[in-house]
Amino acid sequence: MLSLEQVKQSLESAGQSHVLQFWPELSEAERERLLQELSQLDLQGLKEHCEGAARAAACPAASLDHCIEPVAPESIGSVRTSDKASVAQWENEGLLQISENRVGVLLLAGGQGTRLGVQYPKGMYNVGLPSSKTFYHIQAERIHKIQELAERKYGSKCTVMWYIMTSEFTLAPTEKYFKENNYFGLDSSNIVMFEQRMIPAVTFDGKIILQEKGKIAMAPDGNGGLYQALVDNKVLEDMKKRGVEYLHVYCVDNILVKMADPLFIGFCVSKGADCGAKVVEKAYPAEPVGVVCRVQGVSQVVEYSEIKPETAELRGPGGDLIYSAGNICNHFFTRAFLHDVAEKCGQLKQHVALKKVPFVDTCGNQVKPTKPNGIKMEKFVFDVFPFSRNFVAFMVVREDEFSPLKNAEGAATDSPNTARNSLLAQHCRWAIAAGATLLDEHGNTIPPPASVSAGDNPPARCEISPLVSYFGEGLEQLLKGRTLPTPLILDNERAKKLQAE
């Protein structure tokens, strides 16, 4: 730990002496904590970080319309438009890689969930499913099932490693939650949790914000902090030791995520890609999602704020949007690629996020701002795409694979209601496609639900455990010709009873 003198000098040279303004009022324990916190900061790079944040916030992103083009057709696969033989071949390739222990999944779970309005990690959130399962619980069961499917196909017992990137806010509660739930039946030695770095939030004029008299307002460095965290926590070494060659990286809040999706992995491996992104077709031209495209010949994600409305609305001869590949934070990387980019962490672009950051004023009073007062600088996981030698994109169906939880209940989009409805609608579609007739509480037949939006009534409460079916497979032998009342929870126990009937 640095001495008070050393810290003072570093703060002065960075123009941040105000951080110690309440030092005389702090207790011994508070002083020690603050010194510890300041010792862990990159005090050398502090001046540059604060000035860079203020500069970036003052200069909005420039429009990139003049230098963008869509991803080349030969670099894009699609669930909908690819021929059945290719899809089957990709899926088999993915299952083969899983069966050989060469695939891991990496969960980005360091965010604070401020928009959702909860004080615990998003992965522990219960959206109100009939089973009351949380995101972590569902994801753990999907890992179970994909291991079982790969084992059944290729006859070798296998493990999909689960790496979970947390932050200072989410590590302890996540560890506790997994332990209390016996790791949801997974082997704890195959789950590796690690922390990303934290960086200070700063004011619009580049001053570090004090959250309390003896505490700096810190924030995770964005999901692009992954690459530095892989180095800090020796995760790449762990992957190498275990023989993990391919990583499926995803965001915690997507209730429909296909863990270690064999189709996506098989597509990327078959194409010899070092880096890949799952995408969905944009719902409408102005949808606020990043677009996977090429900028001056280099693959990357362009934020919706960097494209003019007239460019977003461009359509091809068939009437489809030209820039339609919406990014859903669902990526493929080879370990070799991650090893290369880990050495280039410092070259990654910084993004500005304007936030409401609670602070103490010069008199030491606690203030909860009602409008953004601070800048959090973030790196994004997709910032490494330009380093790829062979980048591919894979177009999937939104209602099957993407329904994020961002906002609190009552919001028009990306809420617990929309996430829950998306999963229930998907499971209704699976059951009906397998030949079941579902009945509502009045005994009426339920028609197959289409994709669900927040304004729709909830579909039938039909929930299928991932332990029974990973993505709708294997249900026909259980459900064909059956008439089933809802609500229905089809878990292993219910499946065994149906088999015995």
pLDDT band at 109 (very low <50, low <70, confident <90, very high): very high
Q: Using CB atoms within 10 A of its CB, is residue 305 exposed (0-12), middle (13-18) or buried (19+)?
A: exposed
Q: Supply the mean pLDDT for the chain.
A: 91
pTM of the model: 0.91
Residue 458 has pLDDT above 70, yes or no: no
Q: Dump the DSSP string for 193-210.
A: EEEPPEEE-B-TTS-BPE
% of the chain residues with pLDDT over 70 = 96
- Residue 322, amino acid: I
For the stretch 87-107, pLDDT in tens is: 999 999 999 999 999 999 999
Closest CA to 374 of 355, 398, 391: 355
The full 3-state SS of 284-305, as one line of letters, equals: CCCCCCCEEEEECCEEEEECHH
The CATH homologous superfamily of the domain defined by 65-401: Spore Coat Polysaccharide Biosynthesis Protein SpsA; Chain A (3.90.550.10)
DSSP secondary structure letter of residue 472: S
Fold of 423-500: Seminal Fluid Protein  PDC-109 (Domain B) (2.10.10)
Distances (CA, A) of 216 to 122, 248, 350: 24, 34, 21
The highest-confidence range among 50-59, 260-269, 287-296, by mean pLDDT, is 260-269
Residue 238 has pLDDT above 60, yes or no: yes
Query: What is the rounded average pLDDT of the residues 298-308?
Result: 87
Distance from the Cα of residue 476 to its chain's centroid: 32
Residue 64 has pLDDT above 90, yes or no: no
What is the Cα–Cα distance from 162 to 209, expressed in whole angstroms?
35
Q: Taking the domains of the chain in order of start, what are their residue ranges? A: 4-44, 65-401, 423-500
pLDDT number for residue 172: 95
Residue 463 has pLDDT above 60, yes or no: yes
Lowest mean pLDDT among 64-78, 121-135, 415-429: 64-78
Query: What is the rounded average pLDDT of the residues 146-170?
Result: 96
pLDDT number for residue 455: 46
The full 3-state SS of 303-353, as one line of letters, equals: CHHHCCHHHHCCECCCCCECCCEEEEEEEEEEHHHHHHHHCCHHHCCCEEE
pLDDT number for residue 61: 66
pLDDT number for residue 454: 45
pLDDT number for residue 465: 98
Residue 451 has pLDDT above 80, yes or no: no
Residue 43 has pLDDT above 70, yes or no: no
For the stretch 331-361, pLDDT in tens is: 999 999 999 998 887 777 778 888 889 999 9
What is the Cα–Cα distance from 162 to 152, expressed in whole angstroms?
20
Q: Dump the DSSP string for 355-410.
A: E---EE-TT--EE--SS--EEEEE--GGGGGGG-SSEEEEEE-HHHH--B--S-TT
Residue 211 has pLDDT above 60, yes or no: yes
In this structure, the strands spanning 359-360 and 215-216 are: unpaired
pLDDT number for residue 291: 94
- Residue 374, amino acid: G
Residue 65 has pLDDT above 60, yes or no: yes
For the stretch 10-25, pLDDT in tens is: 899 889 999 999 999 9
Residue 448 has pLDDT above 90, yes or no: no
Q: Across-strand partners of 332?
A: 248, 276
Residue 153 has pLDDT above 80, yes or no: yes
Strands (E), 19-128: 68-69, 76-78, 103-108
For the stretch 244-270, pLDDT in tens is: 999 999 999 999 999 999 999 999 999
pLDDT number for residue 1: 78
In this structure, the strands spanning 291-295 and 68-69 are: antiparallel
Fold matches, 65-401 and 423-500 = no
